[in-house]
A and B are shown apart, each in its own frame.
Chain A
Amino acid sequence: MKLTRRETMLLTAGAAAATLLPARAALAAVDEKIAAFTGGAAVGEGGLTLTAPEIAENGNTVPIEVDAPGASAILILAAGNPNPDVATVNFGPLAGRQYASTRIRLAGTQDVVAVAKLADGSFVQARQEVKVTIGGCGG
């Protein structure tokens, strides 16, 4: 038996709905959280380094680092989690280095987003996709 065109469409539509709906809701939540952090200011690039694995070894504990010299605060979000909040790290004037590392839990493949408020009051962001996979086959 071959899949009819209509069945194929239904199958595809079902799969698409399953993956897209939560993602869209989460993305809107991320935009809102960034806007709340920046007060709606424009967000540039550069001056903030986000280090995360390309593929998570264990989605339940993914090591990440943020580093933004001179920043007063860094917001970290997991864009695809049911609740994207990870942390907001505030640096006082005596902080020797504006750097933080932690481990986060990721519900699935998604972007990890960091937004930093720099010394001049401007905002920059960095994002990286972290893949959470059931694994492949090593060569």
Chain B
Amino acid sequence: MISRRDFLQVAMASSALVGASGFGNWARLAAQQALTQDQLLQFDTFGNVSLIHVTDLHAQLKPIYFREPEINIGVGGNKGAVPHITGADFRRLYGIEDGSADHYALTYDDFTSLAKGYGKMGGLDRIATVVKAIRADRPDAILLDGGDTWHGSYGCYHTQGQDVVNAMGLLKPDAMTFHWEFTLGTDRITELVEGLPFAALGQNIFDSEWDEPSELFKPYEFFERGGVKIAVIGQAFPYMPIANPGWMFPEFSFGIRDENMQDMVDEVRSQGAELVVCLSHNGFDVDKKMAGIVSGIDVILSGHTHDALPEPVLVGETIVIASGSNGKFVSRVDLDVRDGRMMGFRHKLIPIFSDVIAPDAEMAAQIDADRAPYEADLTEVLGQADTLLYRRGNFNGTWDDLICQALLEQRDAQIAMSPGVRWGPSVLPGQDITREDVWNVTSMTYGKAYRTEMTGEFLKVVLEDVADNIFNPDPYYQQGGDMVRMGGLGYSIDVSKPIGSRVSNMTLLATGETIDPAKSYTVAGWASVNPDTEGPQIWDVVEAHIRAKGTVHLEPNTSVEVTGV
């Protein structure tokens, strides 16, 4: 188990004071004390306003293992900049000791052994304890949910988001923005949003018919806290109908709409806002670019790309905060707002170590009550993992290798495709793989596994198109996912090239033959954005495959050669 001393380093590390006096790398300020929940939560209350940020929970109400990415390539102006720094380089940058709790929480290497030592992270009942503790310090703290909350688990799928809505209701956020929530479909998201006792925000959510601001979502909400008039402007995921099936919510249009964001900032400032906070689901690089274009935003609480950063990134006079995903972290930002402007801030990325932070009883009871009808289905063991199963990274992870193998074998295809989403917890070698584990990496409302034919030329178009959504040097053309995962097909990619020229050496792995642009191949995949997709649900395909294998063992995947980094 984790030692008290190790915990201390995370706790103290994350309480680094960064403010008008400049940045300090967090662990430099670590003190040598023992670790307790109190120390994880320790924070010298600062200024007159507190923000609490949670984002990209993906319906992970219970603690999970989640391995951070090994490969996270930055392009253009973001080459080599956070969050595109991983592993040992990340630890050196922030002064994190190898083998420490911070190492485990924030980087990928030695994941299995560290996970066994430090235990699972997250759990909304632990997050509830943290939120309550912050509110004990600062009763009028503002809690903001960055979205991707009502998606990503067995329970969430079967209750159409209700289990997460119920649990989040106890947490009492003040406002929320959205992404995957829209894949519940227009009717359901409308029903849920209309019932929310807090603000549903998105200045970029428009009516697709008239291209006018949506009546269901407000662009911003005002709060009076600590004597300060605060405006929170919402920014939903800009590329919803492109990255997700637009036919499920055809009434809505999105986009970055930074000119409208500027109008909203000017509007709230003219109405007396002394502090302007943007609750964003843009993704980190898009937020950085937007912060440089739109003037007058003090704080961007950034979600979507699942980055966890121990310090804010400063763009002009805007601080950009990244709070991780899957319930692993909560950010607390204290602000000193005087004379109509932000004078200083203090920030802490609080790691939710589930063995150290006590669960909140009320929240735990709520989660378990909604979980009870499904408990037997959730905990059913399908097989055992012999290899660490993880997803995050720009190219293949072992979970997707397994899913691709399931598609190839169960669907009798030459090539398999699995979407490069960033959600999905990890399973350690030696652990049972339960139905819940499979749903955690596959659950969605458009999960049918199609089987079709594609020409080599079309496969190349797919790879090039998706690659440009990740590696276009202009962040405004990036959608924030990872590269589509391929089974049965190897390729080389030069990420520095323009669209059409990145992908080469496409090879059918089974025979070693070069992919022929004119020839047709059988392709199995899932998560098509097209309506009327036919086939079994992906979780059933993966479950059948795991049951057939018994023990899941995956060899390292060397089928993608990456250059131009």
Can you name the residue of chain B whose Cβ is closest to the Cβ of A7? B514
A15 part of interface (Cβ distance < 8 Å)? yes
Q: Roughly how many angstroms separate A106 CA and B56 CA in the complex, as a whole number?
A: 34
Q: Is the CB of B480 within 8 A of A134?
A: no
Could you give 21 example pairs across A and B, Cβ below 8 Å?
A: A1-B507, A1-B511, A11-B504, A11-B517, A54-B474, A55-B239, A55-B477, A55-B479, A57-B239, A57-B242, A57-B254, A135-B243, A135-B465, A135-B469, A136-B469, A137-B243, A137-B419, A137-B481, A138-B480, A139-B56, A139-B305
Chain B residues with CB under 8 A of A96: none
| Given contact pairs A53-B255, A57-B241, A57-B242, A135 touches B529 in the complex (Cβ within 8 A) | yes
Interface size of A by CB at 8 A reads 30
Q: Footprint of B on A, CB under 8 Å?
A: 1-3, 7-8, 11-12, 14-16, 19, 51, 53-58, 63, 101, 109, 129, 131, 133-139
Report whether A137 and B421 are in contact in the complex, using a CB–CB cutoff of 8 Å. Answer: yes
Please state if B470 and A136 are interface contacts (CB–CB under 8 Å): yes
Take A1-B514, A19-B500, A57-B253 as given contacts and tell me if A136 and B246 are in contact as well, using a CB distance cutoff of 8 Å: no
B256 within 8 A of A: yes
User: Are A54 and B476 in contact, with the CB atoms below 8 A?
Assistant: yes
Closest to B474 in A: A54
- Given A133-B469, A136-B479; A55-B512 close (CB under 8 Å): no
Asked whether, in the complex, the Cβ of B477 is within 8 Å of the Cβ of A131, the reply is yes
A58 and B250 alpha carbons, distance in the complex (Å): 11
- The complex places the Cα of A56 from the Cα of B479 at a distance, in Å, of 12
Q: Is the CB of A63 within 8 A of B462?
A: no
Q: What is the CA–CA distance of A8 and B492 in the complex, to the nearest angstrom?
A: 12
Given the interface pairs A138-B479, A139-B421, the reply to whether A54 lies near B505 with Cβ below 8 Å is: no
- By secondary structure, the B interface counts as loop
Report yes or no: A133 in contact with B482, Cβ–Cβ below 8 A. Answer: no
B82 contacts chain A at the CB level, 8 A cutoff: no
A137 close to B466 (CB less than 8 A): yes
For B481, the closest partner residue in chain A by CB is A137
User: With A3-B514, A15-B500, A19-B500 known to touch, is A137 a contact of B479 (CB < 8 Å)?
Assistant: yes
Q: How far is the CB of A106 from chain B (nearest CB, A)?
A: 14
Name the residue on B nearest A136 (C-beta).
B469
CB distance B419 to A1 under 8 Å? no
Query: Which interface residue of A2, A14, A136 has the most chain B CB atoms within 10 A?
Result: A136
Known: A57-B253, A57-B255, A133-B468. A138 touches B239 (CB 8 A): yes
> Nearest Cβ in chain A — how far from B52, in angstroms?
22
Residue of B nearest to A138 (CB): B243
Contacts of B504 in A (CB 8 A): 3, 8, 11-12
**CB of B358 closer than 8 Å to a CB of A:** no
Residue of A nearest to B58 (CB): A139
> How far is A16 from B306 in the complex, measured between Cα atoms in Å?
36
Contact B527 A134 (CB under 8 A): no
Q: Is the CB of B477 within 8 A of A138?
A: no
Find out whether the CB atom of A58 lies under 8 angstroms from the CB atom of B477.
Answer: no
Q: How far is the CA of A55 from the CA of B477 in the complex (A)?
A: 7
Tell me the complex Cα distance, A16–B237, Å: 33
The interface residues of chain A lying within 8 Å CB-to-CB of B512 are 1-2
Query: B304, A139: Cβ atoms under 8 Å?
Result: yes
A80 to B203, CA, bound (A): 31
Q: How far is the CA of A26 from the CA of B511 in the complex (A)?
A: 41
Contact of B179 among A16, A134, A138 (CB under 8 A): A138
Contact indicator A139/B423 (Cβ below 8 Å): yes
Closest 7 CB pairs of A and B: A136-B469, A137-B481, A138-B243, A137-B419, A136-B479, A139-B422, A57-B241
Q: Find chain A residues with CB under 8 A from B179 CB.
A: 138-139
- Residue in A11, A131, A134 whose beta carbon sits within 8 Å of that of B461 in the complex: A134
A3 to B516, CA, bound (A): 11
**Cβ–Cβ contact B241 & A139, under 8 A:** no
* B283, CB-defined interface residue at 8 Å: yes
Known contacts: A135-B529, A138-B479, A139-B481. The answer to whether A15 contacts B243 by CB under 8 A is no
Which residues of chain B are within 8 angstroms of A16 by Cβ–Cβ distance? 500-501
CB atoms of A136 and B481 under 8 A apart: yes
The answer on a CB contact under 8 Å between B500 and A135 is no
Residues of chain B contacted by A58 (CB below 8 angstroms): 241, 246
With CB as the reference atom, state the residue of chain A lying closest to B211.
A63
Given A15-B460, A54-B256 in contact, is the A138-B180 Cβ separation under 8 Å? yes
Please indicate which of the listed interface residues B419, B460, B479, B499 has the most CB atoms of chain A within 10 Å of its own CB. B479
Report the bound CA distance from A127 to B548 in whole Å. 56
Q: Are A137 and B482 in contact (CB under 8 A)?
A: yes
Q: Which of A55, A56, A129 has the most CB of B within 10 A?
A: A55
Complex Cα distance, B422 from A57, in Å, reads 22
Proximity string of chain B (253-273) to chain A, C-beta cutoff 8 Å, 1 when within and 0 when not: 111100100000000000000
